[in-house]
Chain A
Amino acid sequence: MEQLIDILLLMLSSVLVQNFIFAKFYGICPFLGVSDKPATAAGMGMAVTFVITLSSAATWAVYYYILEPFRLTFLKTIAFILIIAALVQLIEMFLKKFVPSLYQALGIYLPLITTNCAVLGSALLNIQNGYNFVYSVAVGFAAAIGFTMAILIFAGVRARLQFAQAPKSFQGMPLVLISAGLIAIAFSGFSGINF
């Protein structure tokens, strides 16, 4: 029971306090790239959640059952990026064959995820923090939910930004970045909370 509460608190903290986008800057490229419409943002969020959850499990297993016994832990970056790339390919093939509807929804976002630093970042973070298997998967899932939440909130803000009459130099990326900064200020309010 105590462990369950511990996991839940840890998950809540990684959604809000240690948010991937606004506190850690993992996955900024997709965040800025596909957040112009809520629908595409939701697709990207779902794809990232799917991949991070699975890759947290896979990388944990590979690290503790293969790399550590053979004292190859210094190869973890190479090993993890290969696992993630293979996993993304596998998920793509699996979905295409068995769940075509989900494949249609996630399709174009899946290949982009290989080079998304949120996935590699969360795998490395799990190892760095020494989480066990359950913690790794739970925290990875929660962090991905935090990413999805951030990208969805921001897609809503950007929909409004299209109607804003900004000075010429601020149009486009500068205004987007400054709005992200304002949301980050709101999120930094969570950092006062101690779990």
Chain B
Amino acid sequence: MNKYVKQIKDSIVDQNPVLVQFLGMCPTLATTTSVSNAIGMGLAATAVLICSNVFISLLRKFIPKEIRIASYIVIISGFVTAVELLMKAFFTPLYDALGLYIPLIVVNCIILARAEAYASKNPVLPSAVDGLAMGLGFTAALILIASVREILGAGTWLGLRVTPAAFQPALIFILPAGAFLTLGLVSAAVNKGKDLAAAYADAHPKPEGVAVLPDEIVTEAPAAAAIESVAEAETPSEETHAPKTESAPTQQTDTVPTEDAVSAEPITPTAESAEESVKEETTNKESEETTNGTAD
């Protein structure tokens, strides 16, 4: 069970499809004009991602290797059509707001990337969890970007006014140009947080950092928390290049859920971290494949 929790945490934070891997840029830029649109798009993509991952995983032994991409696209577009019809029937305002971007989920590279890199090689249950995890990571990133855009550009959050009356909303953040600017600034903030976390880890090489970091995150503001946690969990992947340094075990346990890390650490810290680094390496390879193979 803990394995799945870690998988979900990794995809939201460590391997975030949007903010770390830069996949699925079209819907990210286009549908983040308001938080409600972002949630709608994120959940629609999550639904498609879970269904297509399960289906492709079930069929992974039957799909011939030569035509696998075409088969994946047909499976994905089937589920997209289903989601589109359901949204049209039950969430008409959202359907109208998202417009053509719903059928365009078919060519969202996150879905094809997960099909190719994960679902085609793994059993059904892990594939379903992977779809859920990646979908939640996508949704979280969309909500983060949409929050920035909606608060600065319209002064509201989910339609509720959150800024004082004296605040004059900067319309540019709602316009297309604001999408590029916001994503650029958010990803710069993610990089900055990554550097800060690396510096923090260097300054505090002892294991107490494990217990402290996650607590801090919970108490912070949501936007800052997401950035910080992306950054915090990003450090182990850099670490795998030089696994022999002294601080390596400390940082690698950072990605494990807190109670797990605390209980496991006094007993066998080396075995735990060795296992971790192997896992990290596989996920890294996977993500590299992903980014190379499916630049749509």
Contact = CB atoms under 8 A, between A and B. Distances in A.
Interface of A: 22-30, 32-34, 74-78, 81-82, 85, 112, 114-117, 120-121, 124-125, 128, 168-178, 180-182, 184-185, 187-188
Nearest to B80: A77
Interface of B: 22-23, 25-26, 29-30, 69-70, 73-74, 77-78, 80-81, 84-85, 100, 103-104, 106-109, 112, 172, 175-181, 183-185, 187-189, 191-192, 195, 294-296
Contact of A120 (B69, B104, B175, B185): B104
Given A81-B73, A169-B188, A23 B78 contact: no
Contacts of B178: 181
Q: Ordered nearest first, which 4 A-B pairs have the shortest CB separation?
A: A181-B180, A177-B184, A115-B296, A184-B177
A125 B80 CA distance: 17
B30 A177 contact: no
Among A74, A173, A176, find the residue whose CB has the most chain B CB atoms closer than 10 A: A173
Contact of B107 (A115, A177, A181): A115
Given A77-B103, A117-B296, A170 B188 contact: yes
A76 B295 CA distance: 24
B30 A169 contact: no
A121 B189 CA distance: 31
A25 B73 contact: no
Given A28-B26, A169-B189, A112 B177 contact: no
B26 A181 contact: no
B296 A74 contact: no
Prevailing SS type, chain B contact patch: helix
Given A29-B296, A30-B295, A115-B294, A125 B22 contact: no
Given A85-B73, A178-B181, A75 B109 contact: no
Contacts of A29: 23, 25-26, 109, 295-296
A78 B77 contact: yes
Contacts of B294: 115
Given A85-B73, A117-B104, A25 B30 contact: yes
A27 B295 CA distance: 11
A123 B58 CA distance: 32
Prevailing SS type, chain A contact patch: helix
Nearest to B196: A169
Nearest to A78: B77
A174 B74 contact: no
A14 B1 CA distance: 51
B184 A81 contact: no
A154 to B, nearest CB: 11
Given A85-B73, A117-B107, A170-B188, 18 more contacts: A22-B176, A25-B30, A25-B176, A29-B26, A77-B80, A81-B73, A82-B70, A82-B74, A115-B73, A115-B294, A121-B100, A124-B103, A169-B195, A170-B191, A174-B187, A177-B181, A178-B184, A180-B184
Given A32-B22, A124-B103, A174-B185, A115 B175 contact: no
Contacts of A185: 172, 177
Given A27-B26, A121-B100, A178 B180 contact: yes
Contact of A33 (B180, B191, B195, B295): B295
A120 B106 contact: yes
Contacts of B188: 169-170, 174, 178
A45 B26 CA distance: 17
A90 B107 CA distance: 20
